Amino acid sequence: MHELITQLLSHLKGIWKYRWYAAAAIWLIAIAGWLVVHMLPDNYESSARIYVDTQNVLKPLMAGMAQPPNLEQQVAIMSRTLISRPNVERVMRMVDLDIKAKTVKDREQIINDLTSGIRIATTGRDNLFTISYSNENSKIAKDVVQSLLTIFVEGSLGDKKQEATSAIRFIDDQIKAYEEKLVSAETALKTFKQKNMGLMPRQGGDYVTQLSTAADSLNQAKLELREAEQARDALKKQIAGDQPALLAEEEESTSAVSNPEIDARIQSLNKNLDALRLNFTEQHPDVISTKRLIARLEERKKEEAKLVKHSSDPGKNYSPMLQQLNVALAEAEARTASMKARVEEYSSRYNRLKSMSNAVPEVEADLAQLNRDYEVNKANYGKLLERREAAKLSGDMSDTTELVTFRIIDPPTAPQTPTGPNRAKLFSLVFLGALISGIGIAFMMSQIRPTFHSQSILREITGRPVLGTVAMIWTDQEIIKQKRSLYAFGFSLLLLLSLYGILMARAIQKIAPF
């Protein structure tokens, strides 16, 4: 520790020896630096604070009908991209700074100065933004901030409208494409139905369902036919046991015999047959059964006529019981014929469906595929129509300025007092730098032209023993000269410090507080 203190004192003595070199360096550096700081141009800063209100009563009212714009995200993105080259170039044109640009290099320099000078600060969740810019001209500073405010407001309102327009244009293109798909699908479906007219599934269901239904109907018709045949056979047996014996003689022609009851029934059945022929063909089961019933009645008429002529007891042929049995037999015969025709019809249907066991399922599968494609395209087309209307409504909402409100809390003004440069700080830095530089120069001089200030240092460096020291005896003139030198050195430092104080006072008085 003693050696360190001794060495430090030695350095201080060396610096003190070359103090005038240090004073000269301090003066030169301080005056030069202060002149440079004094000649720096004044900067005027203009700023504005704006509040963006994104809360609006229209947004919850339109929820579900339209997609409201995300105003918070939109404003945040706009604030981050405000200082972009296109916006800076637009600001340069709005403030007429492009007039000063004579060359491309000058233009780039102006753009760089604007980009580096513009500052945007935000508090985040409160949507409160501060836009500031500093320039040598206070009016330009104000105009730049005002231009940025204009771009900020217009950009926040215009971007969403452009997005909605692009979305509507895209949806319109998709709608046209799906319209073509729908027309193509409808044409394909129509052509397919015309080509496979006889193989198309009916309203009852698919091929398997139709085949099962035909089989059930055929079985039911067969069962009803057996029931009708059994009922007819039972009536025949009953009539065979109750009929009187007829005379076995040659019969005469009975075409002219009249039977009012049977004739009336035949006439009624003929009218019914004519009506059926107007609606159905000769192969229809009802037509066939009616014709057979008429034939049965004609035969019955002939038989009754024979019984009237040749019966040993003609009165028995007109027994009410026998007449009822004959009527019931005729009806049973007609029902049996109708059931036979129905069984034949159902059998042909079943056989026809069974013969199409390979073609019909393929047709049904192809038809299902066509219908599925058509329904998918139709559903997408309907959704696109709904989305287009929602996009138009969203675009109209974006055009409504009431969705977002811009409130300028502090409008930009042309500052009267400069905000920079901070000359007080710069003067202090120059003064401090001058002091450090002067001390450093004196220290370097002491190292370049070293002297021994104590016998211990001499003994340490030379390695030889020091027998003693001779003290310097100053004369009165030397003492006076040293005192004058000391006073002059102190006065120079005091004068420099006074000059520093004056500059600081003027700088503090001139610069407006931050």
Q: Residue 91 forms beta bridges with which residues?
A: none
Query: What is residue 430's predicted lDDT score, i.e. its pLDDT?
Result: 92
Cis peptide before 450 (omega within 30 of 0): no
To 10 degrees, what angle do helices 138-195 and 85-94 make? 130
CA 422 from chain centre, in angstroms, equals 51
* pLDDT of the chain, 514 residues: tens digit per residue: 666 776 677 777 778 888 888 889 999 999 999 899 888 887 888 888 887 766 554 444 445 544 454 445 555 565 566 778 888 888 888 888 888 888 888 888 888 888 888 888 776 556 777 888 888 888 888 888 888 888 877 765 555 555 567 767 778 888 888 788 888 888 887 777 777 665 555 544 555 676 788 788 888 888 888 888 888 888 788 777 644 434 333 344 444 455 667 777 788 788 787 777 777 778 777 778 888 888 888 887 777 776 655 444 455 455 677 777 778 878 888 888 888 888 888 888 778 777 665 666 666 677 777 778 788 888 888 888 877 777 666 655 555 545 556 677 888 887 777 777 788 888 899 999 999 998 888 888 878 877 766 666 667 777 777 776 777 777 888 888 888 888 888 898 899 999 989 988 888 876 644 4
From 342, 336, 338, 360, select the one nearest 217 (Cα to Cα). 342
Taking a C-beta distance cutoff of 8 angstroms, is the pair 207, 361 a contact? Answer: yes
- The tokens for 443 are 């220290």
Query: What is residue 196's predicted lDDT score, i.e. its pLDDT?
Result: 67
Taking a C-beta distance cutoff of 8 angstroms, is the pair 149, 48 a contact? Answer: yes
Taking a C-beta distance cutoff of 8 angstroms, is the pair 158, 151 a contact? Answer: no
512 HSE (CA, 13 A, CB side): 12
The three state secondary structure string of 421-455 is: CCHHHHHHHHHHHHHHHHHHHHHHHHHHCCCCCCH
> How far is it, in rounded angstroms, from Cα 417 to Cα 508?
12
Residues 6+ away with beta carbon under 8 Å from 115: 83, 85, 88
- Pair type for strands 405-410 and 119-122: unpaired
Query: What is residue 71's predicted lDDT score, i.e. its pLDDT?
Result: 44
From 9, 16, 2, select the one nearest 443 (Cα to Cα). 16
From 154, 162, 147, select the one nearest 78 (Cα to Cα). 154
* Planar angle of CA 295, 297, 303, nearest 5 degrees: 105
- The tokens for 332 are 């049973």
For the structural domain made of 44-172+389-410, what CATH number should be given? 3.30.1890.10
Strand order of the sheet with strand 44-53? 119-122, 128-135, 44-53, 405-410
Stated length of the chain: 514
All CATH 3.30.1890.10 domain ranges in the chain, comma separated: 44-172+389-410
Query: What is residue 206's predicted lDDT score, i.e. its pLDDT?
Result: 58
> How far is it, in rounded angstroms, from Cα 222 to Cα 219?
5
Burial of 201 (0-12, 13-18, 19+ CB in 10 A): middle
Taking a C-beta distance cutoff of 8 angstroms, is the pair 208, 396 a contact? Answer: no
Indicate the SS3 state at residue 64: coil
> How far is it, in rounded angstroms, from Cα 436 to Cα 71?
56
DSSP assignment of 338-355 equals HHHHHHHHHHHHHHHHHH
pTM confidence score? 0.42
> How far is it, in rounded angstroms, from Cα 242 to Cα 320?
12
DSSP assignment of 461-476 equals HH-S-----------H
Burial of 423 (0-12, 13-18, 19+ CB in 10 A): buried
